[in-house]
Structure 1
Amino acid sequence: MSTINKLKILNDPIYGFISITDPLLYDLIQHPYFQRLRRITQMGLSYLVYPGAHHTRFHHALGCMHIMQRTVSVLRFKGVDISAEEENALCIAILLHDIGHGPFSHAMEHSIVEGVSHEDISLIFMDSLNETFNGKLSLAIKIFRGEYHRKFMLQLISSQLDMDRMDYLKRDSFYSGVAEGNINSERLIQMFNVEGDKLVIEEKGIYSVEKFIVARRLMYWQAYLHKTSVAAELILTKILKRARQLLHDGIEINASEPLMFFMKHTINKEDFTPDVLKKFSYLDDFDIIGAIKGWQFHSDFVLSELSKMIINRDLPKIRLQSDKASREEVAELRRRASEKLGIPEKDAKYFVFEGKVKNQAYNKEGEPIHIMHKDRTVEDVIQASDQLNLKALSRPVTKYYVCYPKHLLEEAAI
């Protein structure tokens, strides 16, 4: 009788070879819930700006698992006692940390399921998988929830210098080509230690931490909050909003069965029954793109035009500025859009809208990145660093945007 070899080696363009070191990890990766991440893009619609950014949440999760394995090995070498059971739990927790992402990741986080974060849905998935695998995920879930007595383990999974951030910065930089985001993750891993149940970076790694924080800031402005990406993701949410409105008004809309279910129902955290979770697990980017391809031919002008903007990459103009646009300016833009497009002013809100984006590279109010000096005293990287710009990077920067159709530029100057 043949048995499957579950101890596999995978080839990754970032780290080289990634090892699946436990049969349970293999079984989790093979599960349909996890395989779905192959169909969820890591950077949403950023590929409309950076053509190479087509990598997926599947890539990212495997990368996180790999650097978790490397970090555990380094910590053990430095005398930190981590059992085989704890190591496996850490790998499971980081492998599944993003399993709750819906189509196009953050772009549609509250559009498909309202008021439920992807972290909440990840936990619901993990609880379901724990039943499937007879309680073998219990310790991983305990760590993920922050209920395990060894607090540094949660910091490995969720903190300002965790495996998640280390992988997505390096990976997103590689696939987008935004070189400023390329961090030295191997150096950071080698500098990890534990002091007083806190995850710390040894003093000689402080420059790598500074580079990490600066890289995060640059990646947000150049990639994640690139104005064209922001415009595309906003249009995506407007499309779904319009489709829902049409359904509510009794107008026929075609979409896949799982997408139609979530457009017809308002799902809260309490509504996530096993049946709803199963339906959510069938949702991915292809449901959205497939629907939009069809909706570009819909008889409703608003839905059709918005859909064409994504399919043909004919996106609206977006202007980022330090001050909020005045009500009068936005109202005038909507009036002109209404006139130019031949639609009611209430529908012009789908084409002319405003909002804000915020970038904070380091949150000094949150769990700090701890630097451990040679005498084993520990302090916040902001205090330990001689770089004054780190203090500046800890302040949130808010930019306001106003979005409107390009053809309005052909008229009087705005």
Structure 2
Amino acid sequence: MNKRKIFNDPVYGFVTIPYPIVFDLIEHPYFQRLRRIKQVSLTHYVYPGALHTRFHHALGALHLMGQAIDVLRSKGTTITEEEARGAAIAILLHDIGHGPFSHTLEHTLINVHHEALSLLFMEALNVTFDGALSLAIQIFKDEYPKKFLHQLVSGQLDMDRMDYLNRDSFFTGVHEGVIGYDRIIKMLAVHNDELVVEEKGIYSIEKFLIARRLMYWQVYLHKTVLGVEQMLIQAWRRAKALAGQSVELGVSGGLRYFLYNSPTGDDFGKNRKELIGQFAKMDDYDIMYALKTFMQHPDFVLSFLAGSIIDRRLFKIELQNEPFDPAYIQKIRRAAMEVFDVSEDLVGHLVFHGSESNRAYNTARDEIKILFKNGEVRPMSQSLDYGIQSEEIRKYYLCYPKQLNKPTQAFNVG
């Protein structure tokens, strides 16, 4: 059977599946689940076109990996067919451990990082495919001698970031995120088994970092997106609390399992088959169905949050560069307790605050290295005026129901 399949991707055009095993992995139910998990969670509440999935992204990253391997080979880097296949599998499966709504519920529904879950999925699939994923797992874990293969999967200039910036920009319509991915890939090279960028690509890298910073604050951490995602987190925290009291919530399947149980990373290691099986049953549709069920629940906080998310009655969100005055927060909490008749131990689900930060370029991680024409290799931090991209930007948020806008006296601090 010919398994050299072609997908028509809206971003790159025709994408060829390079190896039969890659096609088999795509056909596996674990991977098909990614069709039902949106790439950017609830971002479509602000950008209606942002309905693309982790499935789209994985195929796009696979396509870019193939291009990168071809470029490196053309420059004399030895990459065997087995290594190319391993890198393709590693990038294809790099996000397979994402749960419903991706990062939003990552530490609320299950307190295990998605990369750890991706590795567990890969190990489970390695058993199914008789060890054919062993090299891919080595590359994914950065245990393979050719470090540049791991850097193509997970690094500051990896195919993951290259695709999601391009794809998320395409589907949101935020053109500031568009990057010259093809030029960047053509500028890649290998020096001492590490990924480097040729000197003439330095300004393409600078634009890439600027695009990443702009996308974070215009899309991923857009104040309205941040607000609705925090509402979802609060709904789930309330549901978990009720489940901990053995309150019936009307959900089933894998979602019920993880609401009424809280397995740790160690538990996943010990009972991998059972827990991965339960986890693989969950996707965005389960969460949305649960929210619609919660709308009818007698618990006011849960039903109010669920209904607000489903009907897009979004909370007010304030954003600023400094922490909020505790007295200001307390005034709003007291107003919420009065308006909604909730106790002090529950009002935190309706009035909540925190902070988000982003650093477009992290000098604490493996730096992007620039290869100069004279053969010298220097970190990017010593090669260009990158300062604004390396600084951490932190913003503080405060969310509360819009009904609290009416009793303005509640906000008179002092």
TM over 0.5: yes
**What's the offset of the Cα at 1:324?**
0.6
Residues 146, 193 of structure 2: 8 Å contact kept: yes
CA distance in 1, matches of 2:276, 2:245: 27
Residues 256, 291 of structure 1: 8 Å contact kept: no
CA distance in 2, matches of 1:78, 1:374: 14
Residues 253, 281 of structure 2: 8 Å contact kept: no
CA distance in 2, matches of 1:20, 1:331: 56
Matched, 1:224 2:223: no
AA matched with 2:109: I
2:39 match: 42
CA RMSD of aligned residues (A): 0.9
TM-score (norm: length of structure 2): 0.97
Matched, 1:363 2:362: yes
**Count of residues in correspondence between the two structures:** 407
**What's the offset of the Cα at 1:113?**
1.2
Alignment of 1:114-153 (within 5 A): 114=111, 116-153=112-149
Alignment of 1:14-413 (within 5 A): 14-114=11-111, 116-272=112-268, 273=271, 274-385=273-384, 388=385, 390-412=386-408
Deviations 1:109-147 (A, max 9, x none): 011211x11000000000000000000000000111111
**What's the offset of the Cα at 1:288?**
0.3
TM-score (norm: length of structure 1): 0.97
Residues 203, 373 of structure 1: 8 Å contact kept: yes
**What's the offset of the Cα at 1:403?**
0.9
1:13 match: 10
Segments of structure 1 that go 5 or more residues without pairing to the other structure are none
SS state of the match for residue 345, structure 1?
A: coil
CA distance in 1, matches of 2:366, 2:207: 19
Residues 108, 236 of structure 2: 8 Å contact kept: yes
CA distance in 1, matches of 2:8, 2:375: 38
Deviations 1:197-232 (A, max 9, x none): 110111111111000000000000000000111111
The list of structure 1 runs, each at least 4 consecutive aligned residues, that deviate by more than 6 angstroms after superposition, is: none
**What's the offset of the Cα at 1:251?**
2.2
SS state of the match for residue 202, structure 2?
A: helix
CA distance in 2, matches of 1:151, 1:324: 41
Provide the identity percentage. 50
CA distance in 1, matches of 2:145, 2:358: 33
**What's the offset of the Cα at 1:300?**
1.1
AA matched with 2:338: E
**What's the offset of the Cα at 1:342?**
1.6
AA matched with 1:359: N
Residues 231, 316 of structure 1: 8 Å contact kept: yes
**What's the offset of the Cα at 1:250?**
3.1
Residues 40, 102 of structure 1: 8 Å contact kept: yes
User: 335-344 vs 29-38, which deviates more?
Assistant: 335-344
Deviations 1:40-70 (A, max 9, x none): 1000100001000000000000000000000
User: 65-74 vs 294-303, which deviates more?
Assistant: 294-303
**What's the offset of the Cα at 1:393?**
1.5
Segments of structure 2 that go 5 or more residues without pairing to the other structure are none
Deviations 1:133-175 (A, max 9, x none): 0000000001111111111111111110000000000000000
